[in-house]
Structure 1
Amino acid sequence: MTEPPVVTVRRHGRLALLGTGLAALLVLGSAVHLTQGTANLDALDVLRLVFGGGTGDTTAIVVESRLPRLLAALVVGAALGVAGAVLQSVSRNPLASPDTLAVNAGAHLAVVAVAAFGVSLPLLGATGVAFAGGLATAVFVLALSGTGGAGIVRLVLAGTAIALALVSVTQVLLLLYAQETRGLFAWGEGALEQNGLAGVRTLGPVVGLALAALLGMARRLDLIRIGEDHARTLGVHVGRSRFAAITLAVLLAAAAVTLAGPIGFVGLAAPALARLLTSAVPGLHRHAALLPFSAALGAALLLGADVLLRSIAGPHQALEVPTGVVTTILGALFLVVLARTTRISSATAEPPAAGARGGVSALRFRVTLIVLALATVGVAVGAVLLGDAKLLLGDVVNWVTGQAGPLVTGVLDTRVPRVVAALLAGAALALGGALTQAVARNPLAEPGMIGVVGGAGLGAVAALTLVSGVGFWTLTGSAGLGAALAMAVVFAVAARGGFASERLVLIGFGVHAAAQALVTLLITLSDPWNETKALTWLGGSTYGRTFTHLVPMALALLLVAPVLVRMRRELDLLSLDDETPRVLGVPVGGSRLLVLSCAVLLTGAAVAGIGVLTFVGLVAPHAARAIVGSRHARLLPTAALLGAVLVCTADTLGRTVIAPGQLPAGLMTAIIGAPYFVWLLYRHRTKSA
């Protein structure tokens, strides 16, 4: 049936009106952008240059400095907008983007690794290296999360986990090869500053060709978006078309990373905004219109963020602040709003590691606990003996009795507090993760992934960079305050949306991303010496710990332990639903607040004690649940011992692998924990299928 002419005219009229509005916005934003900079040039000077009346100095400033930055913003924004639109279509997931598929993290790691090791790849170049890293991670994340449209949260969790692991490896390289990778830390958040027009001239055509190829696939993308069966019926080779689309999308993201670094959330926000307009603008849902409009929106968002940055921070300060910090903060807010409005099932997810949900016998539990306790002691003894200086048990005995020599005494005086700090932090984070999972009723909602660890890190880094000679107790208080604020924001916003556990995870991811962006902002604005110090601390290092530093973690565990013993049955009920505990007389609101307060106290104390550690609060409770079941009377002590073993092992490896050099414990836990988490997601997807 032929479409009525009036409807067609109305559709094209609204599309034309939207296109005209975006074009006018881009022209106006570009004009404002050209007037911003350190040199004293106003709009009249730029206008004279356009009409051929500018001076030689004006021409040099605009052509060599301001125009490259403007064109980079337009090219990068367009590339990310199109990449996000394509990834959302082929995965049929509204939250897919170069960020959530870890494309940016993979591309960043590839570029940093090549710089760190001094590898020369003339056939690939920086774009090829970034493309290879981004494509590998995107394919991996999509394989874990699936492309059926039902795994919205699973995609975000898979991408976040892989990104955390890749970022950890990147931080290791930045620390070990500081000279070779100088400048790549701030670049890791996305910086539009260009050295002439060479980069735009090289990568601009790449972006244009990729966009043209995707426009040629517009009809196939329309059919894939509707459904695979329908597309196959009409002769579309779904697998081949999807892979081609993903390859082109990753090529666009890689070009953007090469030109300006990993700029966050533009690839998520631009196509999401375009899709929100489809109800008011008929025809925008078709990829022939969606792709160019996503490109225009991406360019407008990035250009607007850069104009906003230079307007608020000033031209001189804006040179030091990555533009990606602004886009990440704004994009995180957008993700929080999107998570509240996106239709998400509130059904409780079954823990992937809940194979032993029914529990084990009392005898088996006691045996398991004894074995874990012995393993903890064994790991602690090994950690005391191993390091840059190898010791014997006799040396430890002499140190305890006060008969050791000065060399052994010096080594053990610094090593023993580090080992105890790792044990306490591991136990605290594992308990915090188990409590968070119980309240959120989501086995994947550990403190690191719902913004609590990020908030604690932001509070501590703020104290490190803003307060000269900050003391340990001030640092501890700042970390605890940051953790509490992050938890309050996440749960307050999630509660207004019905407190669905999936929504909680998405909001937490947004808060975590915003916290990380603010951390980068603080580090880049502080003196150069703070960068290494903050990076080491963000990696979760036990370096320099003394027995004084152990007091907050020990106090937190001592305060929380009796509360958890008393609430062990309430925790079992809270992890089921809201109605069952109410029927049995449990005050849901008060109990939830008390449990969350305990989780915040444990997490803040651990982060203040040894810095940021990821995956501990996720892996330890999962493993404990698989071993002893989900009853919290058994789950909590088992998780605490497993967390202590994990962090102590990671710290020992960090001290011995490259001795006398050292790797922070948090980076090692991420590298160890990420494969386990990937296996959990794969197992969960297999069970769901």
Structure 2
Amino acid sequence: MQIVSKPAAERRRRQRGITVMAIVGLLIIVTFVISMNTGFIRLAPSDVIETFFGMGTEKQSLILFEFRLPRIVISILIGAGLAVTGCVLQGISRNALADPGILGINAGAGLMVLLFVSYFPLTAAAPLFLLPVLALTGSGLTAALIYVLTYKRHYGISPTRLLMTGIAIGAGIHAATIVLTLKLNPDKYQFVANWMAGSIWGANWKFVLALLPWIAVLLPYIFFKARILNVLSLGDQLASGLGAAVEKERLKLLASSVGLAGACVAVSGSIGFVGLIGPHLARRLVGPQHQLLLPTAALTGSLLVIAADTIGRSILQPSEIPTGVVVAVIGAPYFLYLLVKSRL
């Protein structure tokens, strides 16, 4: 019987994780190229290459650089953001079903965005950059309410209580959102309906610039906290015994994940299940260690959203299926599967 030393096993795990991330990254690149060629007006691969190097027509440049590329970049960013958010929530709550959409955090962010678009136009540059801040406010208030109602002194956070509380609060926010939509004019109602279905509506470079700073700051910070997430996943008592400031670290990670989810929801609409599916697929591929799990979940989430957006733009042309609907078709059965297997 061959005995494998701990350093050797760790090295193998790391090498496998790097290999998995490389494969998923390659799939993202392939999907990226396919997505650039997908749409109501098709661009052949040769046209895309020529346009990239400035040799395309004015129409081809407009289609590629002003319509498709911003949408593709946003899909990649929000996929990574939502998947990492789900991974953090699952780690700090020790609940395999935790997800910003299921827990109502996305709904809180969406409610603030709805209030904003109900009274202000979305044409000026300044309001666009305020959207992530407003969404952060909504998601933060929702997360704080869930935390207060879930946390019990001497017992910490119960995974089952967290899930039930989040679902209840999310349902209440969705009800309030529906009531508000009834007072909108037809144009804004159509926008809100598409947003609630998970349509990537911020498909221009201004929205990319509004989202990018949040991703660039919060993702590296969460990756830096990977070891803390490993400790928190062991439970409050054991984490405290290992010297971790449990409540302080939990609040830091919760605030980071809420900011990430709010910024993504502000430009992507209500896309659910990415924070559930991404971490679970990553965990199956690289294991539970967050040093590998977090970046793999980010890549998996990006692949899921960009693939869903490409499918939604291609199967019912000239109409589009919202990205959130395509993700839900995949995510709902997977959620039920996890619910059956979980020990609630």
Fold shared by both chains (TM-score > 0.5): yes
2:82, 2:264 within 8 Å by CA — same for their partners in 1?
yes
Please say if residues 428 and 553 of structure 1, whose CA atoms lie closer than 8 Å, have aligned partners that are also in contact. no
Task: Give the alignment partner of residue 363 of structure 1, picking from 6, 15, 21.
Answer: 15
Instruction: Summarize deviations over 1:431-477 as a string: whole Å, max 9, x none.
Output: 00000111111010111111101101111111111335573123332
Alpha-carbon distance in structure 1 between the residues aligned to 2:314 and 2:225? 40
Does the CA-based 8 Å contact 1:553-1:602 persist in structure 2? no
* CA displacement at 1:399 relative to structure 2: 1.8
| Matched-pair contact (CA < 8 Å) for 2:95–2:159 | yes
Give the aligned CA root-mean-square deviation in angstroms. 1.9
User: Who is 1:589 aligned against?
Assistant: 247
- Corresponding residue of 1:424: 77
What residue in structure 1 maps to residue 7 of structure 2?
none
Provide the C-alpha distance between the structure 2 equivalents of 1:500 and 1:546, rounded to a whole number of angstroms: 41
Gaps of 5+ in 2: 1-9
State whether structure 2 residue 99 is matched by structure 1 residue 446.
yes
Q: How far is the alpha carbon of 1:387 from its aligned partner?
A: 1.3
Q: Which residue of 2 aligns with 1:386?
A: 38
Partner of 2:90: 437
* 1:410 corresponds to 2:68: no
Q: 1:422 to 1:572 in 2, by over 3 A?
A: same
- State whether structure 2 residue 165 is matched by structure 1 residue 513: no
After superposition, what is the alpha-carbon deviation per residue over 1:370-413, rounded to whole angstroms, capped at 9, x for unaligned?
A: 11110111111111111112222222222222221022112112
1:478 aligns with 2:130: no
Tell me: CA distance 1:632–1:552, structure 2 relative to 1, closer, same or farther (3 Å).
farther
Answer yes or no: is the 8 Å Cα contact 2:97–2:339 preserved in 1: no
Distance (Å, rounded) in 1 between the aligned partners of 2:98 and 2:241: 26
Judge conservation of contact 1:359–1:630 (CA < 8 Å) in 2: no
Name segments (4+ residues, structure 1) moved above 4 Å.
none
- Secondary structure of 2:103's partner? coil
Question: Structure 1: where are the runs of 5+ without partners?
Answer: 1-357
Partner of 2:149: 493
Q: Where does residue 668 of structure 1 map in the other structure?
A: 326
Aligned-partner Cα distance in 2 for 1:467–1:478: 13
- Deviation, 1:359, is 11
Map of 1:256-275 to 2, 5 A cutoff? none
Q: 1:509 to 1:622 in 2, by over 3 A?
A: same
CA separation of 1:625 and 1:359: change in aligned 2, threshold 3 A:
farther
| Aligned counterparts of 1:359 and 1:531: Cα–Cα separation in 2 | 54
Secondary structure of 1:525 counterpart: coil
* Structure 1 residue 581 displacement after superposition: 2.0
- Judging changes above 3 Å, is the alpha-carbon distance between structure 1 residues 562 and 476 closer, same or farther for their aligned structure 2 residues? closer
Q: CA contact under 8 A between 1:414 and 1:544: conserved in structure 2?
A: no
Secondary structure of the residue aligned to 2:180 is: helix
2-structure distance, mates of 1:657, 1:476:
31
For 1:408 and 1:611, how far apart are their aligned partners in 2? Answer: 28
- 2:195 aligned to 531, 534, 537, which one? 537
1:516 to partner: Cα distance = 0.4
Q: Counterpart in 2 of 1:51?
A: none
1:544, distance to aligned residue in structure 2 (A): 5.1
| 1:644 corresponds to which of 302, 312, 317 | 302
- AA in 1 matched with 2:228: E
Work out whether residues 128 and 210 of structure 2, in 8 Å CA contact, stay in contact via their aligned partners in 1. Answer: no
- Does 2:114 align with 1:461? yes
Assess, with a 3 A threshold, how the Cα gap between structure 1 residues 632 and 521 changes in structure 2: closer, same or farther: same
Equivalent position amino acid for 1:638 in 2? T
For the 8 Å contact 2:132–2:211, the answer to whether it is kept is no
1:360 is displaced (CA, Å) by 6.3
Aligned partner letter, 1:427: A
Counterpart-to-counterpart distance in 2, 1:400 and 1:634: 34
- Quick one: structure 1 residues 543 and 565, their matched pair in 2 at CA, closer, same or farther if it must change by over 3 Å? closer
Q: Aligned residue for 1:615?
A: 273
Select the structure of larger CA radius of gyration: 1
Q: Quick one: structure 1 residues 436 and 552, their matched pair in 2 at CA, closer, same or farther if it must change by over 3 Å?
A: farther
- Amino acid across the alignment from 2:32: A
Moved more, 559-568 or 508-517: 559-568
Q: Which amino acid aligns with 1:674?
A: A
1:677 is aligned to 335
Q: Highest relative contact order (Cα 8 Å, sep 6+), 1 or 2? A: 2
Work out whether residues 359 and 628 of structure 1, in 8 Å CA contact, stay in contact via their aligned partners in 2.
Answer: no
Contact kept, 8 Å, 1:359 with 1:631, in 2: the verdict is: no
Structure 1 segment 343-354 matched on structure 2, within 5 A: none
Residue aligned with 2:215, SS: helix
Output aligned runs, 1:163-182, within 5 Å: none
Give the letter aligned to residue 564 of structure 1. I
CA distance in 2, matches of 1:648, 1:600: 22
Cα gap change, 1:359/1:436 in structure 2, threshold over 3 Å: closer, same or farther?
farther
Contact 2:85 2:257 in 1 (8 A): yes
Structure 2 distance, partners of 1:610, 1:386, is 19
